[in-house]
Amino acid sequence: MASVPSKLYADDVSLLMVLLDTNPFFWSSSSLPFSKFLSHVLTFLNSILLLNQLNQVVVIATGYSSCSYIYDSTSAPSHGSDQGRMPALCSNLLQKLEEFVTEDEQLLKEASAEGTPSSLLSGSLSMALCYIQKVFRSGPMHPQPRILCLQGSSDGPDQYVAIMNAIFSAQRSMVPIDSCYMGSHNSAFLQQASYITGGVYLKPQQPDGLLQYLTTVFATDLHSRAFLQLPKSAGVDFRASCFCHKKTIDTGYICSVCLSIFCKHHKKCSTCGSVFGQAQSEVPSSTNRKRKASDT
Amino acid sequence: MNNGDQRRLNGELEEDEEDEENNDGLAAWERAYADERSWESLQEDESGLLRPIDNQSLQHAQYRRRLRAASTTRIQKGLIRYLYIVIDLSKAASEMDFRPSRMGVVAKHVEAFIREYFYQNPLSQVGLVTIKDGVAHILTDLGGSPESHVKALMGKLECSGDASLQNALDLVQGYLNQIPSYGHREVLIMYSALSTCDPGDIMETIQKCKKSKIRCSVIGLSAEIFICKHLCQETGGSYYIALDESHLKDLILEHAPPPPAIAEFAIANLIKMGFPQRAAESSVAICSCHKEAKVGDGYTCPRCKARVCELPTECRICGLTLISSPHLARSYHHLFPIVPFDEVSLSLFIDQQNKLPKACFGCQQSLLGPGNKPGLHVSCPKCKQHFCLDCDIYIHESLHNCPGCDSTRHSKIPTANEG
**Is position B170 within any domain?**
yes
Q: What's the mean pLDDT in B52-76?
A: 64
Q: Is residue B96 part of a domain?
A: yes
- Taking only the tens place, the pLDDT of each residue in B188-237 is 999 999 999 999 999 999 999 999 989 999 999 989 999 999 999 999 89
Q: How confident is the model at residue B419 (pLDDT cuts 50, 70, 90)?
A: very low
Q: Is A4 within a domain?
A: no
* Domain-located, residue A5: no
Of B271, B332, B362, the CB nearest to A130: B362
pLDDT at B382 over 80: yes
Cα–Cα dist B191/B165, whole Å? 9
**pLDDT of B15 above 60:** no
Regarding whether B257 and B175 lie in a shared domain, the answer is: yes
| Residue B66, domain member (yes or no) | no
CB pairs A-B closer than 8 Å: 247
* Contact residues, chain B, for A292 at CB < 8 Å: 141, 175, 178
Average pLDDT along chain B: 80
Residue A177 and residue A251 share a domain: no
Residue B166 in domain: yes
Of A16-25, A34-43, B166-175, B262-271, the one with minimum mean pLDDT is B262-271
Which among A115, A102, A195, A126 is positioned nearest to A153, based on CA atoms?
A: A115
CB contact (8 A) between residue A111 and residue B412: no
Domain boundary among A206, A227, A248: A227
- C-alpha B368/C-alpha B351 separation (Å) is 16
- Test A161 with B332 for CB contact under 8 angstroms: yes
Contact assessment for residue B216 and residue B235, using Cβ atoms and an 8 Å cutoff? yes
* Domain boundary, last residue among A198, A227, A256: A227
pLDDT the model gives residue A283: 40
Q: Do B125 and B228 reside in the same domain of the chain?
A: yes
A127 contacts in B (CB within 8 Å)? 361-363, 403, 407
Which range marks the domain in which residue A144 is found?
14-227
Query: Could you tell me if B98 and B182 lie in one domain?
Result: yes
Give the range of the structural domain holding residue B391, as residue numbers without chain letter: 342-410
Is B203 inside a domain boundary? yes
**pLDDT of B346 higher than 90:** no
Q: Are residues A284 and A139 in the same domain?
A: no
Same domain, A161 and A80: yes
Cα gap B216→B185, rounded to integer Å: 9
Boundary residue ending a domain (B335, B350, B369): B335
Q: Does residue B148 share a domain with residue B239?
A: yes
**Domain stop point among B265, B287, B313:** B265
> Best interface-test mutation with A: which of B77, B270, B391 has the largest number of A CBs within 10 A?
B270
A165 and B141 within 8 Å at the Cβ level: the answer is no
Chain B nearest-CA distance from A161, in A, is 7
Whether B133 is covered by a domain: the verdict is yes
- Can you give the CATH number for the domain in which B378 is found? 3.30.40.10
Give mean pLDDT, residues A268-286.
61
Which of B269, B400, B416 comes nearest A280 by C-beta?
A: B269
Q: Is B364 left (phi over 0), alpha (psi -120 to 50) or beta?
A: left
- Give the C-alpha separation, B376 to B211, whole Å: 49
Out of B286, B315, B335, a domain closes at B335
pLDDT of amino acid A246: 73
Instruction: Tell if the CB–CB gap between B418 and A160 is shorter than 8 Å.
Output: yes
Residue B374 or A197, more confident: A197
Question: Are residues A131 and A41 part of one domain?
Answer: yes
Q: Report the residue of chain A nearest B361, measured CA to CA.
A: A127
Q: Is a pLDDT exceeding 60 seen at residue B413?
A: no
Amino acid identity at A259: L
Asked if residues A61 and A20 have their Cβ atoms less than 8 Å apart, the reply is yes
User: Residues with Cβ < 8 Å from B129, sequence gap 6 or more?
Assistant: B84, B85, B86, B87, B136, B137, B138, B139, B168, B171, B172
**Same domain for B214 and B196:** yes
Closest in B275, B314, B401 to A165, CB measured: B401
Task: Please check whether residues A37 and A163 belong to one and the same domain.
Answer: yes
Mean pLDDT, residues B40-61 taken together: 68
Residue of B nearest to A75 (CA): B364
Claim to verify: residue A146 and residue A18 sit in the same structural domain: yes
In a domain, B60, yes or no: no
Residues A248 and A205 in one domain: no
Min CA distance, A157 vs chain B (Å)?
Answer: 6
Report how far residue B127's alpha carbon sits from residue B46's, in angstroms, rounded to the nearest whole number.
Answer: 49
Interchain pair A157, B407: CB under 8 A? no
Query: Nearest by CB to A253, which of B270, B364, B412?
Result: B270
Give how many domains chain B has, as a whole number.
Answer: 3
- Residue A278 belongs to some domain of the structure: yes
Burial class (CB in 10 A: 0-12, 13-18, 19+), B86: buried
Last residue of a domain, one of A227, A248, A274: A227
Residue B109 CB partners (closer than 8 Å, separation 6+): B248, B249, B252, B253
Q: Are residues B327 and B347 in the same domain?
A: no
Q: Is residue A186 part of a domain?
A: yes
B179 CB neighbours in chain A (<8 A) are 285, 288
What does pLDDT average to over chain A? 82
Indicate whether B327 and B222 sit together in one domain.
Answer: no
| Separation CA B340–CA B201 (nearest Å) | 46
Considering the domain architecture, whether residues A162 and A283 belong to the same structural domain is answered as no
CATH number at residue A158: 3.40.50.410
Least CA distance to B419: which residue of chain A?
A240
Averaged pLDDT for residues B48-55: 68
Indicate whether B253 and B281 sit together in one domain: no
**Domain count for chain A:** 2
ipTM given for this complex: 0.84
CA distance A217 to chain B (A): 23
Distance, in Å, from the CA atom of A119 to the CA atom of A285, rounded to the nearest integer, reads 44
> Does some domain include residue A9?
no
Residue B258 shares a structural domain with residue B284: no
Residue A264 binned pLDDT confidence (cut-offs 50, 70, 90): confident
**Higher local confidence (pLDDT), B328 or B52:** B328
The answer to whether the CB atoms of A255 and B413 lie below 8 A apart is no
**Same domain assignment for residues B348 and B328:** no
| Domain shared by B364 and B325, yes or no | no
